[in-house]
Structure 1
Amino acid sequence: MKHKVKYIIVILFLFHGLAEAQERLIEKGNEKFEAYSFRPAIDIYKKVLEKGYSSADLLRKLGDSYYYNAEYKDAGDTYMKLMSEFPDETTAEDYFKYAQTLKTLGDYDTSGMIMSKFKEMTKSDVRATAFSNDRNFKKEIEDNSGRYILGPFEFNSPYSEFAPSFYKEGLIFSSDRDTGNFARYRHTWNAKDFLDLYEVNADSSSINKAKKLDENVNTRYHESTSVVTKDGKTLYFTRNNSEKKKTIKDDKGIVRLKIFRAKLNEEGAWDEIEELPFNSDSYSVANPALSADEKTLYFVSDMPGTVGESDLFFVTINQDNTFGSPQNLGPNINTEARETFPYITSEEILYFSSDGHPGLGGLDVFATKIKRQDFTGKVLNVGKPVNSNSDDFTFIFNEELRTGYVASNREEGLGYDDIYSLTETRPLVFDCIQQVTGTVRDKITNEVLVGATIKVIDENNEELLSTITDSDGTYSLELDCNKGNFVRALMEGYIPFEEYLGVSDGKPKIIDFYLERDQITAGFGDDLAKLLQLSTIYFDFDKYNIRKDSEVEIEKVIAAMEKYPSLKLKVNSHTDSRGPAAYNLWLSQKRAESTVNYMIKKGISSDRLVSEGFGETKLLNECTDGVKCSAVKHDINRRSEFIILE
């Protein structure tokens, strides 16, 4: 019995020791994960799983480590394991990344099912809204596909090449290629070599002629994503946060990214290198891009105010080369996922990469038209072949030549990331014009309102344009259907009315307005028929029943009485002089009573109505008995009046 106790104690100690060892291993893996050292984190997490230990947090971090390293097959297997073993602990973000992973792997049907689950969990998420709104993104991507022809980039190597930027007659790009250094420094995100910036000229003809930028720019750590001013004298570029050849880490042990600015000296070297004032040791600022007039710098950051994992920002460059305050580009462009690698063309088209907007998988390239820092335009996926089910990014474009470059980690590439040349065969269509037409009418009388004003108001309540209705009461205008607008109808004496038109596909729209009077400006004794511009209320010859065409006019009177419940009327009926006077008097009385009875049946209280027939006793012209008159003149006397009593 004593021996059994000893064995049990030994086993407990062994289990305790193993548990402690696993906990230390997981803690070490988490430290690597939090520091963005994904490759070491993957190795550690895999060892823990091999020892039989698993948890939702471990699988999530392992899946994310694969995801951020673009190892999508392993990421998909890990996320599926997470959802299978720990369904109650699976988060919305897990579902989103799994859906993105499945798209990258080409399984669009399953990806759609997973996105539906994501939508259920996060209905207010921009990505969920985009997934469920009326736009047919699949068709839209198909329509935009085929606009570009991709070609080779002769300076690719078996390593990584990406982030091209135009410089003089050539390019600057980023690469982790071996340049012959005895000691090659590796970073731990993906166990690849650190990145440097290289320059190639238009006359370069081989990979060996890719020239590394001078040591004032390139250090032993990361340098990437650059942009040069048009005069070639100022360089903005991304670099690891470091000082005196040592990296600087934040409180979590993460080495952040910063943007630096360099000046070209008289000897043709880059010096006067300075970091930009809105950099920080606690968040990253990277991927600089310049506006066409070079007065605005665009960049990527996860600074406070960021919507997702990384957002696009802009900052004004002042005349004295100082900077304004960074501004977020807003929710139309930034999602809860990753937006990165901006580029702005001479025609103010912003290209960027995102895995938050609907795409083909991984990072896709998107484009939107911007004007005067208005970032509310339609965001378009540029389609295949620029985009694939892998990561596609760092798109640049020369609008004069209609050529450019893009980087991708698609499988057919030579290295881990490769640059591809591109030629545009047909431009993207950003301008979406919607024809809006219609009429403006009086709601009660249905009469057209000539000269009514139609205004277009944007979502910031600013008037964009206006027009007036013509002699037929009609109007016509054109709207930007990339944006939401209010179409408002106004007429003096009437209550304004408006209709909202959201972002659409540009199909023509008809909006007919029916305006209500602000008030009936009338008093005792006035004829409501004149105020409402009623047509003649006709009766069949020698009859007093209400005809169908007359019902329409009487309904207008009923509508007015319903709107103004204190209104009381006297219905007067008149005939022309043709026929015996006594008979005309009787017939007009019956017609007046018939009109009142019709209104009572329609819900108007009898105590609000009085009727009287006047026959031919109150003619409006000379057409008395014995006087020859035209039918038109006789018609003037055959009339109904709705005289206001109260």
Structure 2
Amino acid sequence: GGTDIYFVYTNNGQIMSEPTNLGPGVNSPGNEIAPYIFDNSLYFSSDVFYGIGGMDMYKTNMYADGSFGIPINLGKGINTAFDDFGLILRDNGPEGILGYFSSNRTGGKGNDDIYGFKVKEDLGLKTFSLKGRVVNLKSNDGILKAQLRLLDKDSVLIKEVYSDDNGDFRFEIPWKDQITVQATKDHYSIFSATYNESEYDTVQKGTFIIGLSSIEDLLTEKEGKQVVKIQKFYFDKGRADITPKIQIELDKVVDAVQRFPQLKLSIESHTNSKGSRKSNSQLSQRRADAIKSYLIKNGLSSSNIISVGLGEDNLINKCADGVYCLEFLHNQNERTNIVVANFEEL
């Protein structure tokens, strides 16, 4: 724009580089002047940003990666409808912060006069800043163009951004006493976490990592269908009790649905051909119902789960009634698949 702010690298007071423009995060099509650094923040004046009038003074947070936060107007009292610029600050111990600046506001002794002030707290609007990365939980690679949203305590959207090529993102918003961070992408899980003011320091410290699961990492194809990826398990002979070993596998299903709440499941239980067709059908239905009950008990919605007992109708080998087979072949037919019924919609 008009006058921009630049920086140079120095060594013992000697300039060691060409001037570098601070870019559009600080500079505007108008005029930016009088840069001053205090307590990891850059203060400057501008006549273009959302100002009160003339030249107003602003504050922007400085980050370790060389980027800047959103410019924050220092507000009425310090800024006026006239030109306010040249701010310098000093730590005044227990009394707070001591500041000086120039202004051509009315009531002065001349054109540009020097003014001073004392404040107890930092200048400008307090902000919440979050720098992070969205990664694939399995590979730890950054996820490109993941959608990130910040919501207030009433679930009203505050800001939405998308992660860059490396999965990196940054938010900076006016201070809220509670925020919810959400992240997702097509074919990836949903992340949602709520934080209060007491947790902000921990959340804002370092890089905030959000891990998402890819749907492909949680599903596999069996018998031409997409099913939740779990280890094969067996019920006790003739029974439908959920044993500790079965619980371990079903907890994986619970975890998958918690990551993908939109999943609709069809529990398909099969038996081998031993016993009558009727008893096998009834047994497989009891087993499917027992699995459904366990999943519901552990927080899944009953409206998204159906249970189907298929008995010996869909054998995967030739071990039908009247055919002699070794036990391991009969065991191949006894199985339960947790089918994702709405896979094509994901």
TM-score by length of 1: 0.29
Larger proportion of strand: 2
Larger proportion of helix: 1
Decide which structure has the larger Cα Rg and report it.
Answer: 1
